[in-house]
Amino acid sequence: MTTKNILEKAASLLELTVNFTTVNATSARFLSCGELILNELTSQYTDLKKTETVFQEGEVLYSSLSKGPVLRILSVKQNGRKVKFREGTTSFEVSCKGQAEVTYSYCIKDVTLTTNIELPPRFTDDLLALGVAAEYCYRTGFNDGAQKYGERYTTALQNVVGCKKTVVLSARRYL
């Protein structure tokens, strides 16, 4: 799914006709709302993970990693063995020399209309469109729409990230 698809669904929910092929005030506002919702989802509700190889020893800058902004380093391995690391504000320190595999989580930022969104399948474009519609209504001062779509978005989000524990009911004998 692309950002443009999500924004078009949000506009159709609000019954607005927006031209997303050219940059105008309305499309820029929708894009800003979409970036906020994507950033919220990827930083608070799901971990987007990436593993890549780094060739530095000692300190590694977060900006040198391909995806970003980096939320946290999950693991560092060298030759299949875990290596100790220490996270800082702009970099992390590795206690090995040479090549190492770094696994980290990141969030989505700097979204354009053609950005391909890589989220887990449970985060559908309909869910994202509800969030964008709610944020757009909030920013434009349409409070009834903001409340309506905000409640729908919150409910859908709770359903998606809700209970992960399997519930087992014990067998009972009824008379």
Q: Could you read off the pLDDT of 15-72 as tens digits, one per residue?
A: 999 988 888 899 999 999 999 999 888 888 888 898 998 887 788 888 888 887 888 8
Model pTM above 0.85? no
pLDDT of 166 reads: 60
| CA–CA separation, 143 and 52 (whole Å) | 44
Give the H or E element holding residue 27. helix 25-40
**What value does the mean pLDDT of the chain take?**
87
pLDDT of 126 reads: 93
Report which of 17, 23, 20 is spatially closest to residue 3, judged by C-alpha positions: 20
CA 118 to chain centre: 8
Q: How far is CA 105 from CA 8, 111, 130, in A?
A: 28, 18, 25
| CB distance 28 to 136 below 8 Å | no
pLDDT of 165 reads: 60
Report which of 138, 151, 62 is spatially closest to residue 107, judged by C-alpha positions: 62
Mean pLDDT score, 105-131? 89
Q: Which amino acid is at 1?
A: M
Backbone angles phi, psi at 48, to 5 degrees: -90, 120
Show the tokens assigned to 76: 């560092």
